[in-house]
A and B are shown apart, each in its own frame.
Chain A
């Protein structure tokens, strides 16, 4: 008998960390799962969420926060959720952290006002904001995935999206970059890297609806979540992604990033 599959996604602090379209990733994952008849439930992770509930998540998502919220979240995350999340991610539970949330996973984040927020230490990277008068890294962006085996993402190696961040992130020695920047700023506008990958956790500066134009990454996250939960290699039913790839390719050609591929 075919096993009935289902997934639970934990969405970190949706009312504090959902600044600009971050819900997009949640919607894309939910739909792509449901369209394959795999019911997916989303549970909001808040200050009150218990360790037990957090452990019930097969995938964890984080988005961007405004400055004040970022501080509230950073504290709760580090003091009350950090240990559990680290255990989960080390076990291979996949995660996607976009917009400002990667800043919370590194060693620390130095805010624009010079305040040092300690991170979870899942990654070794540090993030520094050099002041509100410094230009932000804003614009459409494209990258070439280097942190995930290409065979696991259908040999489609590009990603596209939008970035808007004041902080600059510098990878530590053991951090594996997620992508090489084809167009845009990436982590810091200097070293040509975008984001980082730890086991099955992706952290990157792309904005919330990142997965909408990158269905290969969405399916990779779902596949990993199912694998960790059900313990065997899962193949997802293919979907008609004509529209997704059309939007993806159009952005690549608009950025003239395709020449670099």
Chain B
């Protein structure tokens, strides 16, 4: 008992200290305190997350997957907030909206929303692939509603995460520890995830739309082998990478029956169709009614850098984060569909981007027509430039490639290139996205 009280007081001290850190960081304009307060608290008490989670009254939603976490969790956060509209008592929803999704980011989000004498109502958290097991381990005693949303699993930063199958194996093992009331919202089009959550309380979403099948398979494809028996899978149709209507001829496993397969997407692109489906299905499971879901989605604006639109010097700019081959292919396809004439590609190789940039060779840059101007920059501007050069048919090349050593020069050039009615599309890796936003808005986010 005494020990328990002591831990509680110690945790409170850490929270106080964390709040102070947030204040200081904000006052001095260093950032919004996305990770530091949590990092300090975590060092003081490695299990501080379970202290916070116990104080969430209604429910916890965790969103995991390689691509779409930030958008999906923002969608869910908005819907949950909308479901409380009209109530005088403000609902406290903990949400790591800046995409800080490691343990320290999650804890920082809890510290930010901490009010003395007031528990949290909801937590909507996006969780990094490698951090999911640690978060799950802190949830064992939780009694409220739990939804785990699994979006997709693609090759991403092998230097940091290891192979796709390794992540799947770790997830499969760790989710066994989730409380028994947990509902799994799973992308049925991803065979690896269907295996990960096999035998659980599952609700499936997926796309039913033959007109969206890819004409030709993408190069960057994982999991085309049956996760259950190792046989090569057959697909009736593929939407992106290994996502599609799959079936195993040997063991008979097949894409499961869908609970939700269609909902008007809030943002352009295939991934946002999946993100919308995942969020709406989660909302339905949480018991939120149709109109509230609809209202929340109607007024939705994208998370920063995820299809976010900005006006810079009277010109329209859209930023689409792309950090791995599957996401990059989907993004390029989306911006081309939107009619892009100028695309700024930014490739950094810092820790959040992954130090290895080899993956750009798995991206199908070949799909970009000659008439589209490609502007390459970032820490690895020349690697990116080379990748684009090697899509050219003749050795003399074409003039649709410009390389700049600094992101600023690249963006300025892009803005100059565009005609009044056009939009400049920026496709950056993570740290390059923060840099580009800073240049465009003159303000730091993290």
Contacts and interface: CB of A to CB of B under 8 A. Distances in A.
Say if A and B assemble together: yes
Interface of A: 15, 18-24, 27-28, 31, 34-36, 66-68, 138-140, 162, 164, 207-209, 212-213, 239-240, 243-244, 246-247, 250
B347 to A, nearest CB: 12
A99 to B, nearest CB: 9
Contact of A247 (B163, B221, B386): B386
Band of interface residues on B: 20 to 34
Interface stretch (B15-23, B352-360, B407-415): B352-360
Contact of A20 (B221, B356, B386, B395): B356
B224 A207 contact: no
A80 to B, nearest CB: 18
Given A18-B219, A247-B385, 9 more contacts: A15-B221, A20-B155, A23-B361, A31-B390, A67-B163, A207-B358, A209-B383, A243-B382, A243-B385
B230 A68 contact: yes
Contacts of B439: none
Interface string B329-366: 00000000000000000000000000111111110000
B362 A20 contact: yes
Contacts of A15: 221, 224
B396 to A, nearest CB: 8
A74 B394 CA distance: 38
Given A21-B361, A208-B358, A244 B165 contact: no
B362 A23 contact: yes
A212 B390 contact: yes
Contacts of B392: 31
Given A35-B394, A243-B382, A19 B219 contact: no
Nearest to A15: B224
Query: Nearest 4 pairs between A and B by C-beta?
Result: A21-B358, A24-B361, A35-B395, A247-B382
A212 B395 contact: no
Contacts of A28: 390
Interface string B361-373: 1100000000000
A67 B224 CA distance: 15
Contacts of A207: 356, 358
B165 A66 contact: yes
B313 interface: no
Contacts of B361: 21-24, 27, 208-209, 212
A164 B224 contact: no
Contact of A162 (B165, B356, B362, B382): B356
A138 B355 contact: yes
Nearest to B163: A66
A203 to B, nearest CB: 18
A36 B387 contact: no
Interface of B: 155, 158-159, 163-165, 219, 221, 224, 230, 355-362, 382-383, 385-387, 389-390, 392-395, 403
Nearest to A98: B358
A31 B388 CA distance: 12
A67 B155 CA distance: 14
A69 B382 CA distance: 32
Nearest to B160: A138
Contacts of B362: 18, 20-21, 23
A139 to B, nearest CB: 7
Contact of A19 (B163, B383, B385): B163
B355 A139 contact: yes
A28 B164 CA distance: 26
B71 to A, nearest CB: 26
Contacts of A213: 383, 386
A71 to B, nearest CB: 11
Nearest to A139: B355
A243 B395 contact: no
A246 to B, nearest CB: 5
A250 B158 contact: no
Nearest to B384: A247
B158 A164 contact: yes
Nearest to B357: A162
Contacts of B390: 27-28, 31, 212
A139 B389 CA distance: 25
B241 to A, nearest CB: 13
Contacts of A20: 155, 158, 356, 358-359, 362
Residue of A21, A140, A239, A246 with most chain B CB atoms under a 10 A cut-off: A21
Given A36-B395, A68-B230, A247-B383, A21 B359 contact: yes
Contacts of A34: 393
A249 B298 CA distance: 51
A212 B380 CA distance: 13
A138 B395 contact: no
Residue of B392, B393, B394, B395 with most chain A CB atoms under a 10 A cut-off: B395
Contacts of B159: 138, 164
B394 A19 contact: no
A19 B386 CA distance: 20
Contacts of A162: 355-358
A246 B158 CA distance: 26
A27 B358 CA distance: 13
Contacts of B357: 162
Contact of A240 (B164, B383, B395): B395
